[in-house]
């Protein structure tokens, strides 16, 4: 009888489970259509926001007005906003029932450079940076990211019947100097606020709009900053034999240090050294006392990084010794680690993105640029960062065939086509977040 009773109870339980509603996977085509409809309604305001941000850029940790604009946008959507997190960053929270907390990040800062696009809304802004007056421009696409960020927030709020959980939208300062993420974390980003369960970010680049690219695992490079000051002995340019010429020493180093890449590093491993700044002297007929160099060092693997750093220091000391000059001052500042895209997070988002973008979703090799979005994964948050294009596809194809590609990030001519670029970003980010909420709901 016991066996019969147990069998009847089991049968009843199975019948109950069969009658209980099963949580189906998200309907990507229907959601994409809803996102596109919302986008068409919202775009005039997003276009105005984007062009305002583009025309009024601010440098790292100076993004006071930029952050204020985003704070106002998020409050209008019903988010609870906290400003001045990590100096100029902000955190916007939207609670919508029981579920995971998903973080979406944008950057706030621009670059110390002059824009030369000729756009009607081109930046003419100037500011003081490192003691010098400089132009300021959003030549890396952070203004696109901010418009995507606001648009995604509005879209997700409009679709709140499709998900349960908490949105944690953060606007991070100082990405260009890879210090903003650390500043926000040090200011209690994951202690003053709930630590998110997942995180997403995107980056615009010089590809065709409508395309989305992503990576699994390593997504970007480690970065280290390089400062070297070569000491010499100044004098008259007509009497070099009475001097120790630091310009000559610096020039020799710039050439010789590339042998660390070509002859010491394993050629099958990624690593590079670029010198982007040289400062020395005041006049053509005066040999100066010193020469200062600034550079960047990129790598994927710790052992490659260690070999490169040792080679750089050895080469700098050697070229100084060749001229019988004093030992140089060498400072190597650790920037940020590589972005690591969590395989499980990518796998979930990938299904929705593939359904939405088809063959315009592409798996690509790791990027050689660097990103301090990596700090959040390093703090234990499973994350995914992906890329979107910014240019008209036919023009992009023609330019590539000509051998002169369209301007990329950090070019003074970098000029995204706003509407389709922002639409792609909002669609992709919204679907990535919704698919993650859905995966959690179905896995409960």
pLDDT for res 17: 32
Average pLDDT over residues 42-70: 98
Residue whose token pair is 């979005």: 373
195 and 380 Cβ atoms separated by less than 8 Å = yes
Is 13 a residue whose pLDDT tops 70? no
Average pLDDT over residues 270-279: 95
Residue with the bigger pLDDT between 39 and 441: it is: 39
Is 329 a residue whose pLDDT tops 60? yes
Is 80 a residue whose pLDDT tops 80? yes
Grade residue 24 by pLDDT with cuts at 50, 70 and 90: low
Is 5 a residue whose pLDDT tops 60? no
Residue whose token pair is 């050697």: 318
Q: What is the pTM of this model?
A: 0.85
- Give per-residue pLDDT as tens, 413-439: 999 999 999 999 999 999 999 999 999
312 and 297 Cβ atoms separated by less than 8 Å = yes
How far is residue 328's CA from residue 253's CA, in Å, rounded to a whole number? Answer: 11
Average pLDDT over residues 5-32: 54
- Give per-residue pLDDT as tens, 81-122: 999 999 999 999 999 999 999 999 999 999 999 999 999 999
CA distances from 246 to 3, 229, 231 (A): 93, 9, 6
Is 444 a residue whose pLDDT tops 90? no
220 and 365 Cβ atoms separated by less than 8 Å = no
Q: What is the CA radius of gyration of the chain?
A: 26
Grade residue 302 by pLDDT with cuts at 50, 70 and 90: confident
110 and 138 Cβ atoms separated by less than 8 Å = yes
What are the strands, taking DSSP E only, across 29-88?
Answer: 80-85
Is 10 a residue whose pLDDT tops 90? no
Residue whose token pair is 């648009």: 151
How far is residue 426's CA from residue 36's CA, in Å, rounded to a whole number? Answer: 9
């Amino acid at each position: 009888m016991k066996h019969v009773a147990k069998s009847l109870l089991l049968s009843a339980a199975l019948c109950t489970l069969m009658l209980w509603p099963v949580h189906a996977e998200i309907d990507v085509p229907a959601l994409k259509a809803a996102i596109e409809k919302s986008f068409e309604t919202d775009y005039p305001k997003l276009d105005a926001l984007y062009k305002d941000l583009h025309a009024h850029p601010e440098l790292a940790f100076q993004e006071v007005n930029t952050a204020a604009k985003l704070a106002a946008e998020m409050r209008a959507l019903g988010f609870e906003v906290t400003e001045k997190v990590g100096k100029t960053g902000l955190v916007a929270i939207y609670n919508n029932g029981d579920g995971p907390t998903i973080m979406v990040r944008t950057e706030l800062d621009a670059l110390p450079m002059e824009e030369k696009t000729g756009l009607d809304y081109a930046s003419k802004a100037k500011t003081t940076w490192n003691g010098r007056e400089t132009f300021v421009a959003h030549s890396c696409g952070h203004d696109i990211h901010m418009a995507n960020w606001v648009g995604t927030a509005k879209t997700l709020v409009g679709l709140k019947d499709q998900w349960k959980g908490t949105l944690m939208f953060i606007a991070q300062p100082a990405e260009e100097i890879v210090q903003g993420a650390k500043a926000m974390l040090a200011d209690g980003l994951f202690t003053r606020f709930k630590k998110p369960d997942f995180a997403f970010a995107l980056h615009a680049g010089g590809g065709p709009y409508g395309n989305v690219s992503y990576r699994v695992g390593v997504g970007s490079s480690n970065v280290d900053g390089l400062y070297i000051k070569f000491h010499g002995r100044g004098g008259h340019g007509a009497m070099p034999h009475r001097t120790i010429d630091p310009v000559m020493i610096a020039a020799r180093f710039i050439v010789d240090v590339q042998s660390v890449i070509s002859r010491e590093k394993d050629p099958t491993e990624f690593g590079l050294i670029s010198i982007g700044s040289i400062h020395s002297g005041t006049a053509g007929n005066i040999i100066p006392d010193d020469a200062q160099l600034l550079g960047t060092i990129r790598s994927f693997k710790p052992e490659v990084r260690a070999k490169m750093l040792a080679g750089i220091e050895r080469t700098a000391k050697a070229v100084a010794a060749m001229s019988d000059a004093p030992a140089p001052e060498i400072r190597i500042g650790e920037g940020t680690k590589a972005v690591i895209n969590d395989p499980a997070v990518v796998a979930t988002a990938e299904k929705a993105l593939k359904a939405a973008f088809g063959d315009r979703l592409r798996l690509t090799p790791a990027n050689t640029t660097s990103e301090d979005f990596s700090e959040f994964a390093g703090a234990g948050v499973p994350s995914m960062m992906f890329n979107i294009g910014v240019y008209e596809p036919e023009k992009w194809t023609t330019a590539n065939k000509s051998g002169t590609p369209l301007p990329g990030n950090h070019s003074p001519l970098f000029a995204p086509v706003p509407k389709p670029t922002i639409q792609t970003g909002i669609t992709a980010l919204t679907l990535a977040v919704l698919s993650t909420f859905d995966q959690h709901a179905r896995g409960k």
